């Protein structure tokens, strides 16, 4: 009777080990899938940011080409204000 209980316990421990291996593999797969999806989302965000930056650069460039005097004047005023703000903090 005791030997049957020991054999039964061994079988259950073996089954438990196999179940734990299966759970571990499943968790690895889930983690890999999620990390891949996260990477894809970050890559999409970076690509979108690059596209937005290019579009903004082209918009600024075309604005400068259309109104060069206004652009120079605006740049001068922004520089003057920035200089005054930096100087007043000293």
**Residue carrying structure tokens 């918009």:** 59
**Residue carrying structure tokens 């983690």:** 31
> Tokens in use for 82?
């920035």
Q: Is the dihedral of CA 24, 30, 33, 36 positive or negative?
A: negative
Cα–Cα distance for residue pair 7/54, rounded to 1 Å: 70
Cα–Cα distance for residue pair 30/19, rounded to 1 Å: 16
- Over the stretch 55-73, which tens digit does the pLDDT of each residue have? 999 998 898 889 888 888 9
The predicted pLDDT at position 88 comes to: 75
pLDDT band with cut points at 50, 70 and 90 for residue 19: very high
Nearest of 87, 60, 88 to residue 75 by alpha carbon: 60
Question: Does the model's pTM come out above 0.75?
Answer: no
């Amino acid at each position: 009777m005791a030997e049957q209980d020991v054999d039964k316990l061994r079988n259950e421990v073996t089954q438990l080990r196999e179940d734990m291996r299966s759970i571990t593999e499943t968790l690895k797969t889930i983690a890999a899938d999620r990390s891949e999806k996260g990477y894809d989302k970050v890559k999409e965000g970076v690509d979108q940011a690059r596209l937005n930056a290019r579009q903004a650069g082209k918009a600024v460039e075309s604005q400068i080409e259309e109104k060069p005097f206004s652009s120079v004047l605006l740049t001068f005023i922004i520089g003057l204000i920035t200089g005054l703000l930096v100087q007043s903090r000293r």
